[in-house]
Amino acid sequence: MNGRNDPATESMTVPIENNGIISEYGYGIMKLTYNEQEYIGHTGGSLKYQSMVFYNTEKNISISILTNCSGSYFNNVFFQELIPAILDEL
């Protein structure tokens, strides 16, 4: 049985600073919980580009982030610095 169909397989999680977590990732959609607010989102990108969109249904807020960079260093900056800086302003 592969992990995609195995209900015992835990979903991937990504911590976001000390205030959040990305979880329930599947089929390109993910849940971001940050400061007790929930956002549904999707990441994307191609060579040298990274993008992400999130939507908060409770507050009817959508967030789009587009960059002209990619790679492991930039992914870390994206998740640990850029996303928290934006969400802290809302």
Burial code (b: 16+ CB inside 10 Å, e: under 16) for 42-73 equals ebebeeeebebebbbeeeeeebeeeeeebeee
For residue 40, count CB atoms less than 10 angstroms from its CB and return exposed for 0-12, middle for 13-18, buried for 19 or more: middle
Instruction: Note the pLDDT of residue 68.
Output: 86
* pLDDT interval class at 1 (50, 70, 90): very low
Instruction: Note the pLDDT of residue 10.
Output: 58
The average pLDDT across 58-71 equals 88
